[in-house]
Structure 1
Amino acid sequence: MKTRIQELRKKHKLSQEELASAVGVTRQTITSLECEKYTASLVLAYKISKYFGLPIEEVFDFSEVEEL
């Protein structure tokens, strides 16, 4: 799943460590999300989106998610 996390983090001049601390995860988790090696849980996606003051859909791209 593609995300705008890196773009938003840099726009707000945050390190991976600062964002990770703010949303309660490790820096490695933020790195994995930015490299698309990990998909955020709904709770984590909500925390990150809320941190940036954006709807989840503006931070995470769900266009490639298969419909049930």
Structure 2
Amino acid sequence: MTALVESLGLVVRQLREARGWSQEQLAEHSDLNRSYVGEIERGRTIASIVTVEKLARALGISLPVLLADCEHIAQRRQAQHIRLAAIAC
């Protein structure tokens, strides 16, 4: 999967855990299946924009903020990967 898909999973998990919610609770708040939420958090599925909006709304943040957080993490992970590749050379 792409870095952005993996980053979405990380951000969703962090926000869910910050609220003290289980995956099941997030699924209920976002009207999604619990196993689907788990797949998103593990970065194993590409969520539609409608699904991402449901997650953002359930987590109490706007869609642009959620996507910006995902992009920020993806960029940080890419920079780390580049640094590690440079060290390996």
Residue of structure 2 in register with 1:6 after alignment: 13
Partner of 2:47: 40
How many angstroms does 1:38 deviate by? Answer: 0.8
SS at 1:7's partner residue? helix
Aligned AA (1:53): G
| 1:1-25 per-position Cα deviation (integer Å, ceiling 9, x unaligned) | 1210100000000000011111111
For residue 31 of structure 1, what is the amino acid of its counterpart?
G
1:22-46 superposed Cα distances (whole Å, 9 cap, x missing partner): 1111111111001000111111111
Identity among equivalent positions (%) equals 22
1:51 deviation in Å? 1.6
Greater than 6 Å deviation, 4+ residue runs: none
Unaligned runs of 5+ in 1: none
Aligned AA for 1:54? I
Following the alignment from structure 2 to structure 1, what is the Cα–Cα distance between the partners of residues 71 and 49? 12
Give the gaps of 5 or more residues in structure 2.
75-89
Q: CA deviation at 1:62?
A: 4.7
Q: What amino acid is the match of 1:11? A: A
**CA RMSD, Structure 1 to Structure 2 (Å):** 1.8
**What is the TM-score of this pair, normalised by structure 1?**
0.79
1:49 paired with 2:71, answer: no
Q: Which has the higher helix share?
A: 2
Q: In structure 2, how many angstroms separate the alpha carbons of the residues matched to 1:50 and 1:25?
A: 12
Give the structure-2-normalised TM-score: 0.62
